Structure 1
């Protein structure tokens, strides 16, 4: 099983979870988690191993988040389309995605990974500038990726 599918299965195990995650409250409260995770990991400097507590809470939050919100009344919002496009991408082996999306999605995932490496290195070295740059890089690449998922969704349903 590919890593993206494994992660998806852990955090969004079924179609129902994906539909509930398309709720704007689910999307944006989950999206906002990264700075809190960074701060929690950074807090190892101040609170030592107690930093595991907020880190664990945030991981639990990411896992439980899609179950806390109901399905949206419609799926016309940008965020809902992004989530549904991502679901289509995850099912690309069963239902092929329209031409022209695969390569760009791979590039955007690589960009997110590069940002993530910068972020992790910054947090590990306690370098605020690398941490901020890595976080910004991750968020910009993620937003571009989500925008691409909207495009994929719209190309797939029309």
Structure 2
């Protein structure tokens, strides 16, 4: 099981959920709140002790609910919608995609790791500057990854591929 495909299965990303997640409100709110809320909930151990686990659980619930609470968008032409659709194509058809897309997506995922390590250390020692720096270093490749997903979608559609199942 690969990491991203496994996460999509854990999050129960059915066809209906993917369509809802393609709503720009879903994509943007998840992208912009996920990492900061995770950091805040972990940091909150300094204020609320073991109740930080409850805060982290609420963040996990938000990340699970997010692609479900927004309706499918009336159009799928925004950058974020196309990025989400590209991620769906990437996860469902990775082996059929050109090698340059697979390599770039893997590289971008790995490029987030140094930022996540800095952020994690900052959360461990409660150093806000390291948390902010690490989160920024982790988020930048994520947004570049979304842009790569848009490119994957465009190439996939140009080659005659479809995103949504018929019906």
Q: TM-score, normalised by structure 1?
A: 0.93
- 1:50-104 Cα distance to aligned partner (Å, 9 max, x none): 11222111100101111111111111000000001111111125x6113421111
Q: Does the 8 A contact of 1:88 with 1:97 survive in 2?
A: no
In structure 2, what is the equivalent of residue 118 of structure 1? 118
Gap runs ≥5 in structure 1: none
Q: Give the number of equivalent residue pairs.
A: 157
Matched, 1:83 2:74: no
1:99 and 1:142 map into 2 onto residues whose CA distance is: 19
Stretches (4+) displaced over 4 A: none
RMSD of aligned Cα (Å): 1.4
Q: TM-score, normalised by structure 2?
A: 0.88
Matched, 1:141 2:141: yes
1:27 and 1:12 map into 2 onto residues whose CA distance is: 16
2:39 and 2:116 map into 1 onto residues whose CA distance is: 11
Q: Does the 8 A contact of 1:112 with 1:141 survive in 2?
A: yes
Gap runs ≥5 in structure 2: 159-167
Q: Which region of structure 1 is more displaced relative to structure 2, 34-43 or 81-90?
A: 34-43
